[in-house]
Structure formats: C-alpha cells, structure tokens
Amino acid sequence: MITLQLNGEQHTYDGDPSVPLLWVLRDEFGLTGTKFGCGEGLCGACTVHLAGAAVRSCQIAAGDAAGKPIVTIEGLDPHGDHIVQRAWRETNAPQCGYCHAGQIMQAAALLAAHPKPTEAEVFATMAGNICRCGCYQRIAEAIHLAATGA
C-alpha cells in the first residue's frame, strides 16, 4: 500500500505500484481531467505537477509518486480560477479542449518557476504539449496574458 498526496489530501492506493500514475488518477480516484494521449511521454496530455514540477503522468509509476505532492487540473485552484485558467478563458484558447488540462498544467508550472518568461522560454517549455487542433497561437497569447496581465 502506498500513500498519495492528491490535490492536498492523503489517499491510500493498494493496487500495483508499477501502474502509471495517469491510470491511478483516472481509474482509482476519478480525476479524469488528466487525459491519455499517447502513453509514451510524447504529447503532454497527461501533465500533472509532482512536487511542483510538470511531469508526464503516463511515464511515472504510481509508486514513484508516493509521498510527494501531486496536483492535477482539478486541484490547481479550488474554483478553477488560477491565473492561467483565467487567461485561458479570456483568450478562448481551447478548440476541442482535449489537450488543455495538460497545457494549463505545463503553463502553470512554467509561470510558477519563471513568472515573466521570454517567448523563447515559453516556446521551449510548451513544445512538448501537442494540440491536434492547432491552438498554439491562442495558447501562447494566454500564457502572455497570464504572465503580464495585459
């Protein structure tokens, strides 16, 4: 049995600790905001925060996340009002929306570490988050808005 710190609460998980965190989040704890895209660490749809860093939850065994704070899109802000979420709404960033929990979690981790990122930093950080709908321009605008309040 392992203990997972999910969105500020302690939970126990007595399943296979080698199962990817993504599936434990979704299937065991109902945190379905975190999406499955590729399962190979290549798309970013499954991005969550682990000990404050953006990670691909499809690539982390649940056991390796034990005891560390995990934040999913559901826990980013109790009212869905994180500065990045507000900027996303303001810019109507999503199209189908599938990739956006991962995009938002990646952007939130970036701004937590670098509140005023350069365009190059934004591009480099977000390059691993794929959007099949091609919303990249609005995503960049949303991050700029969140970073500058402009």
Using CB under 6 A as the criterion, which residues of the chain lie in contact with ligand FES when the complex forms?
A: 36-39, 41-46, 56, 58, 94-100, 131-133, 135
CB-nearer residue toward ligand FES: 4 or 116: 4
* DSSP bridge pairs for 10: 5
Residue 123: CB atoms within 10 A of its CB come to 13
| C-alpha torsion sign, points 96, 38, 113, 50 | positive
Contact 115, 107 (CB under 8 A): no
Nearer to ligand FES, 78 or 128 (CB): 128
Whichever of 78 and 96 has its CB closer to ligand FES, that residue is 96
Minimum distance from residue 128 beta carbon to ligand FES (Å): 8
The beta strand positions in 1-148, using DSSP E, are 2-6, 9-13, 47-50, 53-56, 69-71
> Shortest gap between Cβ of 16 and ligand FES (angstroms)?
18
CB of 1 to ligand FES, least distance (A): 25
Counted residue by residue, the chain has a size of 150
* Residue 120 beta carbon to ligand FES: minimum distance, rounded to whole angstroms: 22
Closest distance of CB 136 from ligand FES, Å: 9
Asked whether the beta carbons of 62 and 70 are under 8 A apart, the reply is no
Which of residues 126 and 131 has its CB atom nearest to ligand FES in the complex?
Answer: 131
Q: Please say which residue, 33 or 37, places its beta carbon nearer to ligand FES.
A: 37
Q: Are strands 2-6 and 69-71 parallel, antiparallel or unpaired?
A: parallel
